[in-house]
Amino acid sequence: MAETFLQVVLDNLTSFLKGELVLLFGLQNEFQKLSSIFSTIQSVLEDAQEKQFNDKPLENWLQKLNAATYESAYGRYHPKVIPFRHKVRKRMDQVMQKLNAIAEERKNFHLHGNIIETICSILIEPQVYGRVKEEDEIVKILINNVSDSQKFSVLPILGMGGLGKTTFAQMVFNDQRVTEHFYPKIWICVSDDFDEKRLIKAIVESIEGKSLSDMDLDPLQKKLQELLNGNRYLLVLDDVWNDDQQKWDNLRVVLKVGASGASVLIVTHLKKVGSIMGTLQPYELSHLSQEDCLLLFMQRAFGHQEEINPNFMSMGKEIMKKCGGVPLAAKTLGGLLRFERKEREWEHVRDSEIWNLPQHESTILPVLRLSYHHLPLDLKQCFVYWHTVFFYQKEMS
């Protein structure tokens, strides 16, 4: 019961984190932490389910986990007041504290864990537009970077949210030239939990293809160095937020055992992270051209349909002019208009006054607002607080 329910909650959280609406409310960190806690607990859940029948304290722990998980998934919020965002953050902090305590208790039962990855190295996009030249540049940098004086290099990939940094890194990771040049290849999703022991354990598990029992940091470090020693490996650290120099220094010492040309690829939107971790000049991912955005948009809007109404194509071009070359915006609007075959719906998106509202960082916010306005009524009610948050921000700016 707990394993199935927790998986549903984790899947929903992961989907929500990868979606667009969470960006609007500035709660990314809270949801990332909650997802990380669920992943930690889920990693030992299968073992716990099997052992609970002969272990009453463990059975009680699972019941407590069920209750806390249900609370986190279905806890009631009251969005009709201005400080709603503050209330959500406070409520999530309370839930996370409770779940953290439950996660810590798992250590009392000596449970065997399995490998959990929320974002993997497999490229799932049906087609990536406008990145071939940049992919070739990064691959050449990695392959040609052989230096006897430097055991391994660190190349940061920088870019604002929505530019498709993870997708781009997946392209590089799966490039045939990279596969032939590097061994082993390791992909780790870091998020905001830059814990040395957790990362080293995840790297070891990725290389060996199996889960590890709980180990102290020192034997973990030695095991990883044995696996990397003399190998020209490629390690991708995706979604890095950590700007603590000491934490990176601790991990770097362990990684500096590879052969000449071993490389680490850092994916982040924070320039500070790039400057702390990088040994090579950070590579800033560009915005897509309007032409590539249009291809991506039309792919999402029409799939593989060969004949497209010229009026839709013309309106698509006008809409893409407003997207600022951001792939997330193009994909979101394409999905929004996926099943709309009435020209007035496309005209509504093209001519919406939302495009004229103040923009803070990018075109993402207007796109999110358009997505909201096209939600069905029942879902729109779930996000009724959007108006309150927006006007509150406007008053405070």
Under 8 Å between Cβ of 47 and 111: yes
Average pLDDT over residues 121-138: 88
- How far is Cα 161 from Cα 361, in angstroms, rounded to an integer? 10
What pLDDT sits at residue 40? 65
Q: How confident is the model at residue 30 (pLDDT cuts 50, 70, 90)?
A: low
Average pLDDT over residues 16-39: 56
Residue 301 has pLDDT above 80, yes or no: yes
Average pLDDT over residues 266-283: 92
The 3 state secondary structure assigned to the chain is: CHHHHHHHHHHHHHHHHHCCHHHHCCCHHHHHHHHHHHHHHHCCHHHHHHHHHHCHHHHHHHHHHHHHHHHHHHCCCCCCCCCHHHHHHHHHHHHHHHHHHHHHHHHHHCCCCCCCCCCCCCCCCCCCCCCHHHHHHHHHHHHHCCCCCCCEEEEEEECCCCCCHHHHHHHHHCCHHHHHHCCCEEEEEEECCCCHHHHHHHHHHHHHCCCCCCCCHHHHHHHHHHHHCCCCCEEEEEEECCCCHHHHHHHHHHHCCCCCCEEEEEEECCHHHHHHHCCCCCEECCCCCHHHHHHHHHHHHHCCCCCCCHHHHHHHHHHHCCCCCCHHHHHHHHHHCCCCCCHHHHHHHHHCHHHHCCCCCCCHHHHHHHHHHCCCHHHHHHCCHHHHHHHHHHHHC
Q: How confident is the model at residue 394 (pLDDT cuts 50, 70, 90)?
A: very low
Contacting residues for 211 by C-beta, under 8 A, at least 6 apart: 43, 112, 113, 114, 115, 205
- Kindly report which listed range (175-184, 233-242, 327-336) carries the lowest average pLDDT score: 327-336
**Segment 186-236, tens digit of pLDDT:** 999 887 778 899 999 999 999 998 888 888 999 999 999 999 998 999 999
The pTM of the whole model exceeds 0.75: no
Average pLDDT over residues 390-394: 42
Q: How confident is the model at residue 35 (pLDDT cuts 50, 70, 90)?
A: low
Q: How confident is the model at residue 11 (pLDDT cuts 50, 70, 90)?
A: low
Neighbours of 267 (CB within 10 A): 24
Contacting residues for 249 by C-beta, under 8 A, at least 6 apart: none
- How far is Cα 135 from Cα 141, in angstroms, rounded to an integer? 10
- How far is Cα 142 from Cα 293, in angstroms, rounded to an integer? 28
Residue 13 has pLDDT above 60, yes or no: no
Give me the helix-helix angle, 132-144 and 165-173, nearest 10°: 50
**Segment 43-56, tens digit of pLDDT:** 666 666 666 666 77
Neighbours of 259 (CB within 10 A): 15
- How far is Cα 88 from Cα 90, in angstroms, rounded to an integer? 5
Under 8 Å between Cβ of 323 and 355: no
What pLDDT sits at residue 274? 92
Q: Which residue has the higher pLDDT, 136 or 97?
A: 136
Structure tokens at 58: 């463990």
- How far is Cα 242 from Cα 42, in angstroms, rounded to an integer? 24
End-to-end Cα distance, the chain: 47
Domain 132-284 fold: Rossmann fold (3.40.50)
Residue 323 has pLDDT above 90, yes or no: no
212: exposed, middle or buried (C-beta count within 10 Å: 0-12, 13-18, 19+)? Answer: middle
Contacting residues for 97 by C-beta, under 8 A, at least 6 apart: none
- How far is Cα 158 from Cα 161, in angstroms, rounded to an integer? 10
Residue 106 has pLDDT above 70, yes or no: no
- How far is Cα 62 from Cα 111, in angstroms, rounded to an integer? 13
- How far is Cα 367 from Cα 19, in angstroms, rounded to an integer? 12
